[in-house]
Amino acid sequence: MAVGAPYYNDGSNVVGAVHIFRRSGTSWSHEQLITASDKADGDLFGERVSIDTDRLLVGAAQHTVSGDADAGQAYVFDYNSGISNWDETKILTASDSDASFVFGLFVSLSGSRVAVGALGADDDSGPTSDTGAVYIFEEDEGGTDNWGQITKINSGDADANDGFGQVSLDGTRLAVGAFGDGGAGRMPVRCMSSRKTKAAPTIGGR
């Protein structure tokens, strides 16, 4: 079990952390405290977590990337049973990362595929900014043990401040919430087959 603590103070800064607990029989014991390798004050590391067996995905939506404040990152950790330790294996950033994208504000992990929401990202199909987007990464994309971005998903009818990017991923099916869309919010559902996506029914709407 993973529990985020985005306001964890390491004694110098509020860097955020994730607590890992492991069950044995009917008891849960604290296994490890995880922080980012490039931890920084105010990153919100651990505000969003997703765990699948011995793999963990952690968002840090306010991490500064290449000088861009609040661009955000996500981190992949894998459990190393040989030394009973969770190792940071990859840092993920958006291919078009920019200030205030808050990439990593929502995260979801399913096996060798992850989805990361960025509510401040722009719509690639038009001039609208701050619509929100979802970025999909797969393990071994771009090389063995690498995590590469395979697609960026926009809603298709994006408006500014839609809040598109609340994600839940299960295998090849992805649900994305857009809490600001039309004032009432919507939840588009997409099905994925390798690197392609197709729209499925939308829940709610205008």
H/E stretch holding 50 reads strand 48-52
pLDDT at 183 over 60: no
Cβ-based burial of 94 (10 A; exposed 0-12, middle 13-18, buried ≥19): buried
pLDDT tens-digit profile of 159-177? Answer: 777 888 999 999 889 999 8
| Amino acid at site 191 | C
Nearest Cα residue to 79 out of 138, 146, 32, 137: 32
Instruction: Return the SS3 of 84.
Output: coil
Q: What is the pLDDT of residue 158?
A: 64
Tell which wins on pLDDT, 146 or 201: 146
- Cβ–Cβ under 8 Å, residues 15 and 40: yes
Full set of structural domains in the chain with CATH: 41-204 (2.130.10.130)
- Give me the residues paired with residue 34 across strands: 18
Res 25 pLDDT > 50: yes
Instruction: Tell me the two tokens of residue 159.
Output: 């408006």
